[in-house]
């Protein structure tokens, strides 16, 4: 795990299932190429709901945390990744006006310095060159997603600093930090238009109507990873989260070949980098891969 010639990718996610909907095909691609890929899951998804009508049964609700853990185990097998829990408790998605306070002890309320500690320890142990997380808005405004962003940036900066968290292992500086940027206005529009052109019902009309172009983030995309051939693995991993995903729902309404034709990439923003790589890029390891290859050559 610690050879200098081994590429390692750490993907930080808020809940079990997020890894399968954000950057999953990219992870599957890198696993296929021999990269060591690890998912860090901040919370157990304890306050999630049952979002698949077929699973909305009392016996499922009774043991939901256990079931979500089993679903995660199935998804990580399908993706071929390692996965570790950071051990925080789901904050839930507060709803109402005014919003109710967050539940005591939840992930979003843990001070960032403390909440980042398990991630710093994991980075120093796993020693990834590349890390992915969410942007400052969390990708969408769930308090756990925003907190995931905060601890990721904090840990990216702290893990390489010998003066910070000295009790948590040898410093390790991650070379690149990316934000997941797959849900952009241009992508949704392109898929919507392809579905209409193909004579299909698009589930995206209402979403597009409400989408404020000023809130689109696509101009921030620096990196498009071609991974269309791994969309099938992504979908299987997502379906493994059976309580969270309705296999007859919107996620799966666009034919696979249409997705692969219209938008065959997953997109990211390079948020921090300590290596030289010209953007736009098509590889999260651009600027690192060659160095690792050189190290192999030297040995
Ligand atoms: Zn989530």
Handedness of CA 247, 248, 249, 251 (dihedral sign): positive
Name the strand (E) or helix (H) holding 174: none
Phi, psi of 14, deg, nearest 5? -80, -45
Q: How far is 130 from 37, CA to CA, in rounded Å?
A: 10
Tell me how far the alpha carbon of residue 34 lies from the centroid of ligand 1, in angstroms: 27
Tell me how far the alpha carbon of residue 14 lies from the centroid of ligand 1, in angstroms: 5
State the chain's mean pLDDT as an integer.
93
155, 161, 164, 170: CA torsion to nearest 10 = 90
Q: How far is 234 from 102, CA to CA, in rounded Å?
A: 32
Neighbours of 96 (CB within 10 A): 6
Q: What is the pLDDT of residue 141?
A: 81
Under DSSP, is residue 145 helix (H, G, I), strand (E, B) or coil?
A: helix
15 assigned ligand-binding residue? yes
Tell me how far the alpha carbon of residue 17 lies from the centroid of ligand 1, in angstroms: 7
Tell me how far the alpha carbon of residue 198 lies from the centroid of ligand 1, in angstroms: 32
Tell me how far the alpha carbon of residue 80 lies from the centroid of ligand 1, in angstroms: 20
**What is the tens place of the pLDDT at every residue in 245-284?**
998 887 799 999 999 999 999 999 999 999 988 999 999 9
Q: What is the pLDDT of residue 297?
A: 44
Q: In what order do the strands lie in the sheet with 223-226?
A: 82-88, 36-43, 8-13, 130-133, 176-180, 265-273, 223-226
Q: How far is 246 from 252, CA to CA, in rounded Å?
A: 9
18 assigned ligand-binding residue? yes
**What is the tens place of the pLDDT at every residue in 158-183?**
999 999 999 999 999 999 999 999 88
Q: How far is 278 from 275, CA to CA, in rounded Å?
A: 10
Q: Which is nearest to 42 in space by CA: 70, 71, 19?
A: 19
Q: What is the pLDDT of residue 206?
A: 92
Tell me how far the alpha carbon of residue 276 lies from the centroid of ligand 1, in angstroms: 32
241 assigned ligand-binding residue? no
Q: How far is 241 from 74, CA to CA, in rounded Å?
A: 8
Q: What is the pLDDT of residue 8?
A: 98
Tell me how far the alpha carbon of residue 18 lies from the centroid of ligand 1, in angstroms: 5
**Regions of the chain where pLDDT drops below 50:** 1-4, 296-299
Q: Which is nearest to 266 in space by CA: 9, 3, 24?
A: 24
Tell me how far the alpha carbon of residue 93 lies from the centroid of ligand 1, in angstroms: 9
Q: What is the pLDDT of residue 290?
A: 64
């Amino acid at each position: 795990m610690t050879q200098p010639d081994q590429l390692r990718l750490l993907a930080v996610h808020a809940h079990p299932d997020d890894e399968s909907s954000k950057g999953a095909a990219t992870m599957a691609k890198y696993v296929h190429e021999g990269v060591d890929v690890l998912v860090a899951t901040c919370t157990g998804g304890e306050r999630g709901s049952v979002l698949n009508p077929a699973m909305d049964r009392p016996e499922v609700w009774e043991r939901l945390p256990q079931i979500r853990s089993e679903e995660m185990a199935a998804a990580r097998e399908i993706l071929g990744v390692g996965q570790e829990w950071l051990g925080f408790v789901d904050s839930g998605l507060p709803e109402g006006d005014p919003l109710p306070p967050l539940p005591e002890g939840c992930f979003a309320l843990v001070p960032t310095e403390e909440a980042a500690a398990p991630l710093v320890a994991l980075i120093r142990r796993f020693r990834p060159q590349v890390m992915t997380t969410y942007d400052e808005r969390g990708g969408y405004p769930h308090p756990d997603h925003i907190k995931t962003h905060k601890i990721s940036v904090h840990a990216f900066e702290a893990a390489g600093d010998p003066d910070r968290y000295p009790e948590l292992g040898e410093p390790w500086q991650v070379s690149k930090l990316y934000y997941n940027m797959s849900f952009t206005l241009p992508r949704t529009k392109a898929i919507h238009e392809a579905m209409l052109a193909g004579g299909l019902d698009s589930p995206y009309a209402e979403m597009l109507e409400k989408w404020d172009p000023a809130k689109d983030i696509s101009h921030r995309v620096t990196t498009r990873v071609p991974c269309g051939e791994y969309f099938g693995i992504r979908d299987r991993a997502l379906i493994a989260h059976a309580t969270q995903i309705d296999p007859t729902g919107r996620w799966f309404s666009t034919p696979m070949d249409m997705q692969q034709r219209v938008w065959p990439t997953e997109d990211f923003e390079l948020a921090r980098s300590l290596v030289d790589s010209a953007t736009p890029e098509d590889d999260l390891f651009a600027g690192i891969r060659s160095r690792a290859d050189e190290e192999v050559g030297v040995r």
